[in-house]
């Protein structure tokens, strides 16, 4: 008896597939949130990408035990749904118990064993889901496209579902919800069972649900790494958590310390006669501390809570501009820059903060503490990204950005993998457009040693000014630095002598160092905060080389050991400084210093890629040992299958990830971009797959070939046209209302996603006709490709930009098409 | 007590004493090896730190203080490796090379008084106590402060005075200080500490994540009271030299 069903009237358990796919994708996104809170974002990236190899393992297993598994399909399907539910919660609990310290991984070999165990445990839930879906595809091979389409649509809905859940519930509570929803999928698959079997299975399902319900909360509760800022702060006497809020972007914790002040004042001058007032600390994902200043009646009577604002490098623009009437604060976070502008009596303040929760803290929950009542008449907070707001036509005397959060992220390299559209050439150009005549743009960043981010910012600013038609930017820039911050001041016209003198006076009186000023002498730099070499000044000269000022600078930027080239919208990795040419020298440094210098971001990516590649190779090759040898042409056929499914797996995610980045700009909010892109791509791809099912119903091999050719041609054409068109229409879309921007994103994604949903079911359908025993293997290859793709896409984007990633996807689709055309497919 | 019991008792104690002596010898050996590794690191990083060697008395102190007493029992076998180790409460005992470098940068003299912000395990205070007249150390985490105070007392460091408090305000009763070490995370250099630093004094601030100390900030107050900071990268890595 052939275990697969040829009867077209038999319906696959579509509802179960839908629920299971939705739960699995929601679980994947949830794990990223959970591990970002417990450890750090880069660790989450590494663990999840490897854990998804559970899909690859599943393909190998089914290849080997295909016949038995299909013969027992009903039982195996339900068992896998139950195992997903149970393992999704159990594995997380066990992983949390492992004494793993991500920071110690380069010092302590035992940490690698714990990391490996984490991978294996977290791969299990995905392995069970992949088993259930793949077996359904094999079992109902006449309806491959239908099952695959429902799988994709379910995953798309899962994305929206988890985003909605994260708005309401804490991440650990959602873990339980998803475990139960996974088990529910098994319940809906009971219809094919006999009544006795049904009773037995229902009892088992109930038991599993009960087990999840009664799992003690303390087992599931998040155990923050003891090295995170929040965990360490809570160790201080009498410090307590005042409130916590979770959102799909971050977990926000507000902490008070009644006796020991937090005293957060980035780069405060040693000459400051005053320190910061009482503050509440705000932690995002247990780290990146910012503070809310306590504004008392006395302190806020006229100008705000603190003279200390006047002694920070970020106060520079308020001293240089003669009479600012309004200020725009980009990324206002918990309001420190708002209070600083208020301190200088700015009559009208617009603040922009994309994380609504942060602005709610100062305008609602801690409004009295922050003194919001006294500010509200002149401060308006807009919950949109800096870029989104910069698309408006408004004009400001001062536009201010940064510093944000704690200082550790940049130098440790934990944000290296995060795209940032706030600090690109195009971004700075859009900020410059917001300036009124004589207006000033002020950018403050934390410094690091060796200097990196600030030097890249200067180079980016010079590129932006040149793009804006400013021929001699050296006359329009002032740059100062404190012990641990640097402030860059940009103007659309040349700084006047009076303004230049104000910069000098401000810096000297506060013991800040000049890094650049029109007419600066080398003798003026590096006086108070002495660096081993005056790298800020040297970088400035190098950046300005070739402008109309005619500097004969050296090739400092090119020769620098870090990548400090300008960031662009196409390569928006402002926090990545990795340079291949420096790696040998860096790794030769004593102890672990080299790794510290590189930062953890890029190495994480490389390690993940190496691990995923090794695992992929094993998972692709291993099942071949168990497959029946099929005379001649067999190896060529297998090679074509590998190329086809590897290529379409890689290409699908390449395009999806590139669109998340493109839509981040259009939607002005990374969260919306992820939700809209994943949802649109998965759902429309699912619909594309359903269309294929419809067309294939009564037609032949010829239909498959034609559909494949058409879909690949369309993918190529649409992708290339988007590379050209999207930058042209982005600014028009950014000016639309929020709902219209979301609709536009859906409309843009729909046609491309629709055709991208076709190659996989078409490939499987062809395989079904020639080598059905290789179907699970192909499924596994496609799963492995998705894992590789997520890592490779980021690596490629850093190196060649997102347009390059999209073009690579087109090349991969063409390669897949060519392999499918081969007579040996 | 029967004779055979006496023999067993004596034999058992002999084993204990002997094994104890062996362990102590091993620690001494490991400590010497650690000092040699530090010397090698100084040699490798001499351009970056502008020194060919650390002061002999600093190295002698590093060779004297029983670092294994300051790490958790389970990590004693790694106590003399040139790496930071976790000590609980999210804190670490610094890498020996960094401890030696910070101590050397303070240029300790026998008559000096040093303030330390962030006692941690107490190891840095113990090293300093070998070199100066008096060490004052402040720890903000109560449990850590209590355990390190007890340990330092147990080890007989009677020239170390500790307290559990907020280090931002320093210790005005014992100010001014010849040197200050700040191992706590700070967003700015606390003005009270600058005020409590003697003219001609030095303050050291290591900056970086717990397991990745990347650079040191040296705050110097000259005889006129002018304060400057200097950033030191404790590794030989000169980013702008390129291929030259």
B242 — pLDDT class (breaks 50, 70, 90)? very low
Mutation for B interface: A101, A268, A527, A593, most B CBs within 10 A:
A593
**CB neighbour list of residue B29: distance below 8 Å, 6 or more residues apart:** none
Overall average pLDDT of the A388-403 stretch: 90
Contact B237 A268 (CB under 8 A): no
CA atoms within 13 A on the CB side of A754: 10
**A685: nearest Cα among A750, A770, A595:** A750
In a domain, B135, yes or no: yes
Cβ of residue B195 closer than 8 Å to a chain A Cβ: no
Distance from CA of A265 to the nearest CA of B (A): 6
Contact B187 A268 (CB under 8 A): yes
- CB contacts < 8 Å between A and B, how many? 159
Mean pLDDT of chain B: 86
Distance from CA of A198 to the nearest CA of B (A): 52
What is the CATH classification number for the domain harbouring B223?
3.40.50.150
Cβ of residue B222 closer than 8 Å to a chain A Cβ: no
Overall average pLDDT of the A153-172 stretch: 92
pLDDT at residue A271, rounded to an integer: 86
pLDDT at residue B215, rounded to an integer: 80
A302 — pLDDT class (breaks 50, 70, 90)? very low
Domain that holds residue B201: 3-232
Using CA atoms, how far residue A444 sits from A334, A337, B62, B217, in Å, is 16, 11, 41, 20
Question: Which residues from A are below 8 Å from B212, CB to CB?
Answer: 103, 412, 592, 595-596
Q: Which helix (H) or strand (E) holds B14?
A: helix B3-44
pLDDT at residue A407, rounded to an integer: 43
Among A519-528, A566-575, A691-700, the range scoring the smallest mean pLDDT is A691-700
- Number of helices (H), then strands (E), belonging to chain A: the values are 33, 13
Domain A627-825, CATH class in plain words:
mainly alpha
Of the two residues A115 and A41, the one the predictor is more confident about is A115
Q: ipTM of the assembly?
A: 0.81
- What is the 8-class DSSP label of residue A362? I
Of B143, B166, B229, the CB nearest to A483: B229
Cβ of residue A258 closer than 8 Å to a chain B Cβ: no
Mutation for B interface: A223, A229, A270, most B CBs within 10 A:
A270
pLDDT at residue A301, rounded to an integer: 41
Contact A412 B209 (CB under 8 A): yes
In chain A, residues under CATH classification 1.20.1250 are 1-223, 627-825
Question: Which residues from B are below 8 Å from A528, CB to CB?
Answer: 228-229
Q: Where are the beta strands (DSSP E) in A506-549?
A: 513-516, 529-530
Segment A321-327 long-range contacts (CB within 8 Å, at least 24 positions apart): A321/A397, A321/A398, A321/A438, A321/A439, A321/A440, A322/A438, A323/A397, A324/A397, A324/A398, A325/A397, A326/A350, A326/A396, A326/A397, A326/A398, A327/A396, A327/A397, A327/A398, A327/A399, A327/A400
Among A282-296, A425-439, A652-666, B230-244, the range scoring the smallest mean pLDDT is B230-244
Mean pLDDT of chain A: 87
Overall average pLDDT of the B118-128 stretch: 96
Rounded CA separation A688/A680 (Å): 12
pLDDT at residue A820, rounded to an integer: 83
In chain B, the largest separation of any two C-alpha atoms, in whole Å, equals: 82
In a domain, B242, yes or no: no
Mutation for A interface: B78, B184, B211, B219, most A CBs within 10 A:
B211
Question: Which residues from A are below 8 Å from B95, CB to CB?
Answer: 591
Q: Please, are residues A681 and A673 in contact by the beta-carbon 8 Å criterion?
A: no
Cβ of residue B242 closer than 8 Å to a chain A Cβ: yes
Among A16-20, A313-317, A603-607, B36-40, the range scoring the smallest mean pLDDT is A603-607
Overall average pLDDT of the A79-103 stretch: 92
Taking only the tens place, the pLDDT of each residue in A419-441 is: 788 999 999 999 999 999 999 99
Decide if pLDDT at A632 tops 70: no
pLDDT at residue A216, rounded to an integer: 93
Rounded CA separation B206/A572 (Å): 31
Contact A259 B228 (CB under 8 A): no
pLDDT at residue B80, rounded to an integer: 95
Closest chain B residue to A103 measured between Cα atoms?
B211
Cβ of residue A584 closer than 8 Å to a chain B Cβ: no
Among A366-375, A393-402, A613-622, B71-80, the range scoring the smallest mean pLDDT is A613-622
Q: Is the peptide bond before B173 cis (omega within 30 degrees of 0)?
A: no
- Which of A635-639, A780-784, B231-235 is most confident? A780-784
Active site residues of B: 94
- Which of A134-148, A462-476, A696-710 is most confident? A462-476
Cβ of residue A270 closer than 8 Å to a chain B Cβ: yes
**B71: nearest Cα among B45, B106, B34, B107:** B34
Scanning A189-301, the segments in alpha helix (DSSP H) are 195-214, 217-220, 229-233, 297-300
Overall average pLDDT of the A341-366 stretch: 94
Of the two residues B42 and A424, the one the predictor is more confident about is A424
Rounded CA separation A819/A812 (Å): 11
Q: Please, are residues B106 and B114 in contact by the beta-carbon 8 Å criterion?
A: yes
pLDDT at residue A630, rounded to an integer: 56
Helix (H, G, I), strand (E, B) or coil at B202: strand
Decide if pLDDT at A309 tops 50: yes
Rounded CA separation A444/A315 (Å): 10
Taking only the tens place, the pLDDT of each residue in A194-204 is: 777 888 889 99
**CB neighbour list of residue A581: distance below 8 Å, 6 or more residues apart:** none
Rounded-to-10 torsion of CA A785, A791, A794, A800 = -60
Between positions 110 and 139 of B, the ones with CB within 8 A of A are none
Phi/psi for A290 (5° steps) reads -125, 175
B17 — pLDDT class (breaks 50, 70, 90)? very low
pLDDT at residue B232, rounded to an integer: 84
Percentage with pLDDT > 90 across chain A: 54
Rounded CA separation B120/B142 (Å): 10
pLDDT at residue B241, rounded to an integer: 39
Cβ of residue B22 closer than 8 Å to a chain A Cβ: no
Q: Specify the number of domains making up chain B.
A: 1
Q: Which tokens belong to A758?
A: 């076709």
Rounded CA separation B43/B33 (Å): 15
CA atoms within 13 A on the CB side of B74: 4
Contact B82 A591 (CB under 8 A): yes
Rounded CA separation A585/A594 (Å): 8
Question: Which residues from B are below 8 Å from A406, CB to CB?
Answer: 187
Question: Which residues from B are below 8 Å from A229, CB to CB?
Answer: 185
Cβ of residue A232 closer than 8 Å to a chain B Cβ: yes
Contact A590 B41 (CB under 8 A): yes
User: CATH: 3.40.50.150, 3.50.50.60, 3.40.50.300, 3.10.20.340. Which one for A304-583?
Assistant: 3.40.50.150
Of B144, B185, B233, the CB nearest to A450: B233
Decide if pLDDT at A412 tops 60: no
**CB neighbour list of residue A569: distance below 8 Å, 6 or more residues apart:** A421, A424, A425, A426, A427, A665, A727
Overall average pLDDT of the A711-724 stretch: 94
Decide if pLDDT at A72 tops 70: yes
Question: Which residues from B are below 8 Å from A531, CB to CB?
Answer: 230-231
Distance from CA of A585 to the nearest CA of B (A): 8
Q: Please, are residues A407 and B187 in contact by the beta-carbon 8 Å criterion?
A: yes
Taking only the tens place, the pLDDT of each residue in A547-603 is: 655 555 568 888 888 999 999 999 999 988 988 888 777 777 666 666 667 766 787
Q: DSSP characters for B51-87?
A: -SS--HHHHHHHTTS-GGGGS-GGGGGGTTSSS-EEE
Decide if pLDDT at B237 tops 70: no
Rounded CA separation B92/B86 (Å): 4
pLDDT at residue A417, rounded to an integer: 67
**A682: nearest Cα among A791, A784, A757:** A757
Distance from CA of B160 to the nearest CA of A (A): 22
In a domain, B241, yes or no: no
Question: Which residues from B are below 8 Å from A595, CB to CB?
Answer: 212
Question: Which residues from B are below 8 Å from A407, CB to CB?
Answer: 187
Cβ of residue B233 closer than 8 Å to a chain A Cβ: yes
**A567: nearest Cα among A755, A406, A709, A419:** A419
Mutation for B interface: A110, A532, A585, A604, most B CBs within 10 A:
A532
Rg for chain B (alpha carbons), in Å? 20
Of the two residues A752 and B2, the one the predictor is more confident about is A752
Overall average pLDDT of the B131-155 stretch: 96
Question: Which residues from B are below 8 Å from A484, CB to CB?
Answer: 187-188, 207
Rounded CA separation B132/A633 (Å): 82
Q: Please, are residues A212 and A85 in contact by the beta-carbon 8 Å criterion?
A: yes
Rg for chain A (alpha carbons), in Å? 29
Taking only the tens place, the pLDDT of each residue in A489-517 is: 999 999 999 999 999 999 999 999 999 99
pLDDT at residue A199, rounded to an integer: 87
Q: What is the residue whose two structure tokens read 């598994």?
A: A69
Phi/psi for A345 (5° steps) reads 60, 40
pTM reported for the whole predicted model: 0.88
**B120: nearest Cα among B168, B72, B156:** B72
Distance from CA of B214 to the nearest CA of A (A): 7
Overall average pLDDT of the A255-271 stretch: 89
Rounded CA separation A369/A243 (Å): 14
Question: Which residues from A are below 8 Å from B239, CB to CB?
Answer: 450-451, 535, 560-562
In chain A, residues under CATH classification 3.40.50.150 are 304-583
Q: Which helix (H) or strand (E) holds A279?
A: strand A279-284
Cβ burial of B9 (10 Å; 0-12, 13-18, 19+) is exposed
Contact B141 A236 (CB under 8 A): yes
Question: Which residues from A are below 8 Å from B242, CB to CB?
Answer: 555, 558-561
Closest chain B residue to A556 measured between Cα atoms?
B240
Q: What is the residue whose two structure tokens read 């979301």?
A: A742
User: CATH: 1.20.120, 3.40.50, 1.20.1250, 3.60.21. Which one for A1-223?
Assistant: 1.20.1250
Q: Using H for helix, E for strand and C for coil, what is the string for A695-729?
A: HHCCCCHHHHHHHHHHHHHHHHHHHHHHHHHHHHH
pLDDT at residue B243, rounded to an integer: 36
pLDDT at residue B23, rounded to an integer: 66
Phi/psi for A335 (5° steps) reads 95, 5
Distance from CA of B198 to the nearest CA of A (A): 16
Q: Using H for helix, E for strand and C for coil, what is the string for A297-349?
A: HHHHCCCCCCHHHHHCHHHHHHHHCCCCCEEEEECCCCCHHHHHHHHCCCCEE
Q: Where are the beta strands (DSSP E) in B174-234?
A: 177-182, 197-209, 212-221, 227-232
Cβ of residue A533 closer than 8 Å to a chain B Cβ: yes
Q: Please, are residues B165 and B138 in contact by the beta-carbon 8 Å criterion?
A: yes
Contact B83 A511 (CB under 8 A): no
pLDDT at residue A243, rounded to an integer: 96
Contact A272 B191 (CB under 8 A): yes
Rounded to the nearest 5 percent, the helix, strand and coil shares of chain A are 60, 10, 30
């Amino acid at each position: 008896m052939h275990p697969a069903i040829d009867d077209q009237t038999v319906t696959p358990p579509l509802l179960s597939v839908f629920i299971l796919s939705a739960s699995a994708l929601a679980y994947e996104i949830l794990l990223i949130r959970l591990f970002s809170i417990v450890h750090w974002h880069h660790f989450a990236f590494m663990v999840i990408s490897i854990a998804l190899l559970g899909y690859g393992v599943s393909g190998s297993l089914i290849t080997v035990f295909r016949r038995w598994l299909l013969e027992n399909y009903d039982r195996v399907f339900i068992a896998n749904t139950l195992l997903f539910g149970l393992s999704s919660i159990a594995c997380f609990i066990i992983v949390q118990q492992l004494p793993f310290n991500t920071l110690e991984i380069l010092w302590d070999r035992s940490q690698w064993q714990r990391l490996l165990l984490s991978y294996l445990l977290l791969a299990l839930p995905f392995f069970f889901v992949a088993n259930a879906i793949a077996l359904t595809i094999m079992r109902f091979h006449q309806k491959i496209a239908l099952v695959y389409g429902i799988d994709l649509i379910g995953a798309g809905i899962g994305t929206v579902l988890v985003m909605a859940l994260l708005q309401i519930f804490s991440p650990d509570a959602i873990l339980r919800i998803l475990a139960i929803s996974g088990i529910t999928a098994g319940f809906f698959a009971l219809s094919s069972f006999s009544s006795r079997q049904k009773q037995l299975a229902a009892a088992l399902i109930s038991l599993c649900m009960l087990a999840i319900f009664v799992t003690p909360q303390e087992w599931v509760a998040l155990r923050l790494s003891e090295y995170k800022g929040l965990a360490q702060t809570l160790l201080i006497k009498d410090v307590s958590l005042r409130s916590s809020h979770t959102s799909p972007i971050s977990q926000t914790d507000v902490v008070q310390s009644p006796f020991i002040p937090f005293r957060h004042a980035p780069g405060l001058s040693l000459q400051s006669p005053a320190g910061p007032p009482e503050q509440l600390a705000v932690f995002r994902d247990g780290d990146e501390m910012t503070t809310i200043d306590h504004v008392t009646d006395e302190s806020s009577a006229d100008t705000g809570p603190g003279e200390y604002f006047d002694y920070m490098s970020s106060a520079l623009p308020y001293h240089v501009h003669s009479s600012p009437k309004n200020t725009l604060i980009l990324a206002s976070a918990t309001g420190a820059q708002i209070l600083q502008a208020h301190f200088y009596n700015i009559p009208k303040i617009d603040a922009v903060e994309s994380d609504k929760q942060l602005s709610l803290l100062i305008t609602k929950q801690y409004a009295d503490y922050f003194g919001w009542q006294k500010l509200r008449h002149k401060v308006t907070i807009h919950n949109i990204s800096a870029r989104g707001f910069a698309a408006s036509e408004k004009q400001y005397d001062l536009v201010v950005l940064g510093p944000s959060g704690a200082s550790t992220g940049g130098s440790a390299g934990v944000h290296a993998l995060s795209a940032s559209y706030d600090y690109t050439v195009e971004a700075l150009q859009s900020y410059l457009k917001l300036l009124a005549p004589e207006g000033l743009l002020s950018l403050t960043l934390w410094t690091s040693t060796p200097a990196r981010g600030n030097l890249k910012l200067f180079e980016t600013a010079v590129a932006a000014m040149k793009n804006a038609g400013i021929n001699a930017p050296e006359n329009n820039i002032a740059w100062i630095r404190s012990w641990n911050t640097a402030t860059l001041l940009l103007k659309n016209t040349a700084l006047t002598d009076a303004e230049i003198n104000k910069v000098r006076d401000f810096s000297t009186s506060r013991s800040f160092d000049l890094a650049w000023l029109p007419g600066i002498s080398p003798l003026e730099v590096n006086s108070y905060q002495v660096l081993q070499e005056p790298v800020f000044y040297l970088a400035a000269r190098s950046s300005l080389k070739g402008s109309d000022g005619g500097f004969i600078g050296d090739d400092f930027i090119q020769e620098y050991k870090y990548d400090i080239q300008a960031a662009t919208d196409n390569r928006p990795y402002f926090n990545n400084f990795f340079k291949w040419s420096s790696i040998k020298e860096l790794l030769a440094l004593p102890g672990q210093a080299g790794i510290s210098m590189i930062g953890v971001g890029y190495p994480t990516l490389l390690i993940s890629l190496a691990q995923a590649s090794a695992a992929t190779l094993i998972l692709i090759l291993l099942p071949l040992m168990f497959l029946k040898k099929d005379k001649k042409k067999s190896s060529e056929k297998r090679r074509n299958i590998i190329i086809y499914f590897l290529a379409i797996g890689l290409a699908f995610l390449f395009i999806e990830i590139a669109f998340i980045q493109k839509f981040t700009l259009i939607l002005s909010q990374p969260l919306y971009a992820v939700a809209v892109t994943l949802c649109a791509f998965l759902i429309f791809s699912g619909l594309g797959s359903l269309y294929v099912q419809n067309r294939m119903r009564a037609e032949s091999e010829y239909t498959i070939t034609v559909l494949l050719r058409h879909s690949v041609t369309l993918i190529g054409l649409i992708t290339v046209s988007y590379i050209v068109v999207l930058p042209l229409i982005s600014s028009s879309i950014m000016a639309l209302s929020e709902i219209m921007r979301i609709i536009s994103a859906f409309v843009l994604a729909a046609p491309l996603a629709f055709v991208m949903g076709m190659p996989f079911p078409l490939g499987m359908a062809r395989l079904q006709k020639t080598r059905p025993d290789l179907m699970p293997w192909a499924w596994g290859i496609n799963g492995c490709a998705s894992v590789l793709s997520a890592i490779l896409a980021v690596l490629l984007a850093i190196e060649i930009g997102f347009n390059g990633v999209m073009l690579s996807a087109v090349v991969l689709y063409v390669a897949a098409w060519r392999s499918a055309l081969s007579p040996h497919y | 007590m029967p004779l055979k019991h006496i023999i067993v008792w004596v034999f058992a104690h002999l084993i204990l004493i002997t094994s104890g002596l062996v362990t102590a010898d091993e620690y001494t050996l490991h400590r010497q090896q650690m000092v040699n590794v530090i010397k090698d690191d100084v040699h490798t990083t001499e351009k970056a730190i502008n020194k060919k060697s650390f002061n002999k008395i600093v190295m002698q102190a590093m060779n004297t203080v029983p670092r294994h007493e300051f790490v958790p029992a389970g990590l004693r076998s790694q106590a003399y490796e040139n790496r930071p180790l976790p000590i609980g409460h999210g804190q670490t005992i610094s890498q020996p090379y960094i401890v030696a470098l910070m101590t050397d940068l303070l240029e300790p003299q026998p008559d000096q008084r040093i303030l330390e912000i962030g006692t941690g395990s107490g190891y840095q205070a113990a090293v300093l106590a070998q070199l100066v007249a008096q060490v004052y150390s402040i720890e903000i985490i109560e449990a850590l402060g209590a355990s390190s105070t007890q340990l330092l007392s147990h080890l007989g460091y009677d020239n170390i005075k500790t307290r559990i408090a907020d280090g931002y305000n320093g210790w005005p009763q014992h100010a001014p200080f010849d040197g200050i070490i700040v191992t706590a995370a700070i967003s700015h250099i606390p003005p009270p500490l600058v005020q409590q630093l003697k003219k001609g004094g030095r303050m050291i601030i290591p900056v970086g994540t717990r397991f990745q100390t990347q650079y040191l900030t040296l705050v110097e107050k000259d005889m006129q009271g002018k304060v400057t900071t200097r950033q030191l990268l404790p590794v030989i890595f000169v980013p702008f030299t390129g291929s030259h």
